[in-house]
Amino acid sequence: MNGVESELVTGAWIARHVGVGRAAVANWRTRYPDFPQPVDGGSSSPLFSWVAVQQWLDDTGKSVQLAESGRTGTGTQRIGDATPAPPSDRALGELTAPELLAMVLVSLLPRLGDGDPSGDDVDPPLVLDPACRDAGVLTAVMERFGDHVRLAAQVPEERDAESVRLARPEIGDAVRVGEALRTDRFAESRGTARAVVCVPPRAARQWPAADLAADPRWRFGLPDAGDPELAWVQHCLAHLRPHGVAVVVMSPVTAVRPSGRHVRAALVRAGVLRDVIALPSGLAPPGEGAVHLWVLQRGVGGDVRMVDLSGLADAADVPHEHAGWEDLFAGDDPSVVRAVPQLEVLDDDTTLVPSQYLHARVDSTAEDLDRVTGRLRLLYEGLGRAIPHPVPSGSASRRPEVTLAELERSRAITILPRDATPRAGDLLFRTMGRDPVVADGSPDDERGVAQVVGIDTDRLDPHFVAMFVRADARAAPVANTHSALTREDVRRCRIPRMPVAEQRRYGEAFRRLSELTAVAERLAAMTTAVVTQTVHGLTAGALDPATIGAPGTIGPPENEKRTQ
């Protein structure tokens, strides 16, 4: 079982284990040819040999560097940004999909503190959100640039304006009300923004094309009534100054719909469409399957860079820092990023789907895949042996109970301040409806903590307590957005009265079941990675269908089928 963690690990696991961001691990892979190659390089989350990675860290001296400073020297520091320290994986785990998407959008903006490349500096530069409904995007802008920029936003309704002003008081009067495609409240400021970040509204699928046909914003062609996103793209471009950058969230349908072909072709021909980035579904707004990002820049021209990140299993692996995007763009993986000449894009349909222009990734040979699947078979055999064998209990089904409030009064437990640093053996109540766990002393202990409970281990077994409070913790009413239990919710949780020796028997059983769950989840992820790589190998011609084996090997044995 331990072989899953000690031998084959993901890049995200490496980052968490050594205390760096995911971008740092991506940097190592790009910049150092001797960094260990993935054992399973073809899946969306490639698997590495942890022994090889650990040896590489020691050989390059990075182990010492990390121990001394906790940070790598491989370019994760952001230059020209107001906040020098990149956000940690721990913080990323607490972000909602819209918050993470906002961070990704803003990370694609240029370093606005470096000056205007056009030579016409405005201090501070203007950043506009023309489709603002809450302060999410503006907050991401402020977290990156601080007071180095001026904010402006147009919101559809007055109640949205009040919400934005409350969340971002520094915006002042630069928030205006009105639907931007119908009435541009910043029309007098067109051509002045250094950056525009836009998440077009998804509710309205039509826009009044006929009513606004003469508007000068549609210099790349009047979009069809069913293509409002192409109107938003041109609205954003109209507000950019020379060399200004806009990042717009787009539906993949807009990239292929025949009615928008003439506008897409005009954007490509003019050289204002710089990047098309396919994101994983975990970053999509609620109700959407997947999204693309279009990065547009005035006065640059050139190829269209196609980037396909749609296969990433973890949305948090999408770069969320400017340096991470620079490293990704500088990479040479033809299955992820490619600069496509304009003439190749300007075919009959002008399709803007990255996967159409990228090569299928097939890095592993049949021998590599066989080694991984061989390990998986052994691990699954071990997992089968670890499945519980039910034994009936001889004790009563109903036991006398005690609340955590009573245990607190008797000092068997202590409900610590929420900002207390968890110690190994503490009971952790999590946010977002997750089950309570026992702290193990790792950095993950501080992730998503709602309440920390110290336990007198001479009187209580922590794993026993964690097992029995789960039902009450799940049933507790939660009134806040983070689904975090209050101190009173915790005090109402109950556990049975039981001698410490008996508690430890139950606690040990719960600990082993928790380990079984964790191993099963990692095995499931590894199996998915193997299946994904096998599909790649079959479609690319590297593997024969005989790879899959004989039919009828999945499912219960025949004798079990007959008795069901």
- Pairwise CA distance, residues 34 & 42, whole Å: 19
Q: What is the CATH number of the domain that holds 226?
A: 3.40.50.150
Lowest average pLDDT, out of 29-43, 187-201, 249-263, goes to 29-43
How far is Cα of residue 115 from the mean position of the Cα atoms in its chain?
A: 30
Domain boundary among the residues 482, 497, 512 is at 497
Task: Please tell me whether residues 201 and 272 are part of one structural domain.
Answer: yes
Distance separating alpha carbons of residues 494 and 473, to the nearest angstrom: 9
End-to-end C-alpha distance for the chain, whole angstroms? 31
Nearest to 197 by CA among 133, 128, 111, 147: 128
Predicted confidence band of residue 556 (pLDDT cuts 50, 70, 90): low
> Is 203 a domain residue?
yes
| 322 and 237 inside one domain | yes
| Within a domain: 551 | no
Q: How many residues does the chain have?
A: 564
Residues near 284 by beta carbon (within 8 Å), at least 6 away in sequence: 97, 101, 290, 291
Encode 91-123: b = buried (16+ Cβ within 10 Å), e = exposed.
ebeebeebebbbbbbbbbbbebbeebeeeeeee
Question: Residue 196 is encoded by which pair of tokens?
Answer: 């525009």
Same domain? For 167 and 235 the reply is yes
> Would you say residue 205 lies in a domain?
yes
Count how many Cα atoms sit within 13 Å of the Cα of residue 301 in the half-sphere of its side chain. Answer: 4
Q: Which positions ≥6 away from 319 have C-beta within 8 Å?
A: 23, 26, 104, 107, 325, 327, 328
Distance CA 230, CA 239 (A): 15
Predicted local confidence at residue 446, as pLDDT:
76
DSSP assignments along 138-149, one per residue: HHHHHHHHGGGS
Instruction: For residues 93 and 64, state if they share a domain.
Output: no
Question: Taking a C-beta distance cutoff of 8 angstroms, is the pair 38, 363 a contact?
Answer: yes
The tens digit of pLDDT for each residue in 233-275 reads 999 999 999 999 999 999 999 999 999 999 999 999 999 999 9
Measured CA to CA, the distance from residue 144 to residue 140 in angstroms comes to: 6
Domain annotation covers residue 508: no
Q: End of a domain among 357, 379, 409? A: 357
| Same domain, yes or no: 155 and 7 | no
Rounded alpha-carbon distances, angstroms, from residue 201 to 106, 130, 151, 230, 482:
18, 10, 20, 12, 25
408 shares a domain with 339? no
Q: Is the pLDDT of residue 502 over 70?
A: yes
Residue 373 falls inside a structural domain: no
Distance CA 495, CA 209 (A): 64
Phi and psi (nearest 5°) for 446?
-85, 5
Token pair of 363 as six digits: 């890095």
Residues 211 and 318 in one domain: yes
Quick one: pLDDT at residue 557? Answer: 55
Confidence of residue 93 (pLDDT cuts 50, 70, 90): low
CB 245 within 8 A of CB 239: no
Domain assignment of residue 271, yes or no: yes
Q: Are 78 and 113 in contact (CB under 8 A)?
A: no
Q: Which of 327, 357, 387 is the last residue of a domain?
A: 357
Gap between the Cα atoms of 230 and 254, Å rounded: 8
Q: What are the φ and ψ backbone dihedral angles of 49, each rounded to 5 degrees?
A: -80, 115
Count the neighbouring beta carbons within 10 Å of the beta carbon of residue 63: 15
Is residue 8 in some structural domain? Answer: yes
**Coil, helix or strand for 242?**
strand
pLDDT score for 482: 63
Q: Which two tokens stand for residue 476?
A: 């507790």
Contact assessment for residue 223 and residue 231, using Cβ atoms and an 8 Å cutoff? yes
Question: Residue 41 belongs to a domain with what CATH number?
Answer: 1.10.10
Q: Of 118, 119, 121, 140, nearest to 129 (Cα)?
A: 140
Regarding whether 331 and 240 lie in a shared domain, the answer is yes
Least confident of 131-140, 245-254, 416-425, 465-474: 416-425
Q: Which domain holds residue 418?
A: 401-497
Q: Once rounded to an integer, what is the mean pLDDT over residues 456-463?
A: 94
CB under 8 Å to 474, separation ≥6 — which residues?
433, 435
Exposure on the CB side of residue 283, measured as CA atoms within 13 A: 30
- Please give the backbone phi and psi of residue 102, each rounded to the nearest 5 degrees, phi first: -60, -40
Query: Do 182 and 225 fall into the same domain?
Result: yes
Q: pLDDT by residue (tens digit) across 152-177?
A: 999 998 888 888 888 778 787 789 99
SS (H, E, C) 373-426: HHHHHHHHHHHHHHCCCCCCCCCCCCCCEEEHHHHHHCCCEEEECCCCCCCCCC
Distance in angstroms (rounded) separating the CA atoms of residues 445 and 438: 9
Asked if the model's pLDDT at residue 26 lies above 80, the reply is no
The mean of the pLDDT values for the chain is: 81
The total domain count for the chain is: 3
Contact by Cβ (8 Å): 324, 26: yes
* Cα R_g (the chain), whole angstroms: 27
- 338 and 416 housed in the same domain: no
91 or 408: which leads in pLDDT: 408
Pick from 62-71, 313-322, 361-370, 529-538: least confident? 62-71
Q: Do 214 and 331 lie in a common domain?
A: yes
CB-based contact 428:465 (threshold 8 Å)? no
Query: What are the Cα distances from residue 547, in Å, to 154, 305, 379?
Result: 56, 35, 20
pTM: 0.56
Q: Is residue 552 part of a domain?
A: no
Tokens of residue 370, six digits: 């066989």
Q: Report how many helices (DSSP H) and strands (DSSP E) the chain contains, helices first.
A: 20, 17
Both 189 and 258 in one domain: the answer is yes
